[in-house]
Amino acid sequence: MAALLRALRAPGSLLGRRVLITGASGGVGRFAVRLASIAGAHVIACVGSAARGEGLDKVGADEVVVGLDGIDTPVDVVLDNVGGPQLVAAWQLLAPGGSLQSIGWTSGELAVFPAYSTVGPPKALTSFLIDGPVAEELASLVRLVVPPHREGGQSQYVPRPLRPAAAPSLAPVLAWAQQQLDRPVTVGDLAEQAAMAPRTFARRFRDETGTTPHRWLVQQRLHEAQQRLESTSDDIGRIARETGFVTAETLRHHFRRAFGTSPTSYRRRFRNAPA
């Protein structure tokens, strides 16, 4: 599973991108569908039969296809669990600049590429083998599937999404906003980036993400704060400033409201864990 998470991170942000997952009916495949969906991708799950695709829509697949013949639009990222001829076919579907991550080979068959398959616009095929420490990946996976108990024996944290799903029309705006979290970005700024009136933008945003621009910005700032608490020794005031909360008091308010604990307690629990 750590290899899967690394493979998903390797192509960069998945927000609004078309991600094809082959062998999606298996355990690793289903988990890949879920993680890619959480990351905001348009997920295409490829399976061997209609029966094997049951339930994949419930874990995040936007499309479930039997084989690759029915896909007529290029994809940006492929996570291939199957290998063999299906890997070759998936390579042919990859858009220029795309990335194919080979994380399994369940078919046991040879992958034979037609002549000149690798001649053309640049795209990448990467193999994966876990080496080195995996603590960061394991910590991320644990938080997604087994949220810890809150302080005082309260109910568990609500699992946090990496990013909310978004339609491709808003993807560039959200990607821009994620690079501006240290600034006081407003809904008006987002609307300007989208070249829309603020009210039109707010309505479109809710239609496509299921939340409001303000709530989305707070969620992104909280996610960034979590990452900083886990991976740095920066003081709470600095983290607050650099994630757009401005003051430590504001960060503490939003953090406790979202997770039922303080930033300091969260850091004690998750800093460099699990070992």
**Domain limits of the chain?**
2-127, 170-270
The whole-number pLDDT of residue 156 equals 40
Neighbours of 260 (CB within 10 A): 18
* CA separation, residue 175 to residues 21, 79, 238 (Å): 23, 22, 23
* CA separation, residue 74 to residues 70, 105, 145, 155, 253 (Å): 12, 22, 31, 43, 44
pTM for this prediction: 0.56
Topology given in CATH for the domain delimited by 2-127: Rossmann fold (3.40.50)
| Amino acid code (one letter) for 130 | I
Contact between 90 and 33 under an 8 Å Cβ cutoff? The reply is: no
User: What string of pLDDT tens digits covers the 275 residues of the chain?
Assistant: 667 777 887 888 777 789 999 999 998 899 899 888 877 788 999 999 999 999 898 888 889 999 999 898 999 999 999 999 999 999 999 999 999 999 889 999 999 999 999 999 999 999 876 666 666 666 655 555 544 444 544 434 444 443 444 445 788 888 888 888 888 787 888 889 999 988 888 888 887 777 788 888 888 889 889 889 988 999 999 999 999 888 888 899 888 888 888 999 888 888 765 43
Distance, in Å, from the CA atom of 2 to the CA atom of 123, rounded to the nearest integer, reads 24
Alpha helices in 61-212 (DSSP H): 84-93, 135-145, 171-178, 187-193, 198-209
End-to-end CA distance of the chain: 16
The whole-number pLDDT of residue 82 equals 95
The whole-number pLDDT of residue 131 equals 67
Distance, in Å, from the CA atom of 263 to the CA atom of 275, rounded to the nearest integer, reads 20
**Paired residues of 149 in beta bridges:** 156
Alpha helices in the chain (DSSP H): 2-9, 27-38, 84-93, 135-145, 171-178, 187-193, 198-209, 213-231, 236-242, 248-259, 263-270
Task: Classify domain 170-270 by CATH number.
Answer: 1.10.10.60
The whole-number pLDDT of residue 52 equals 93
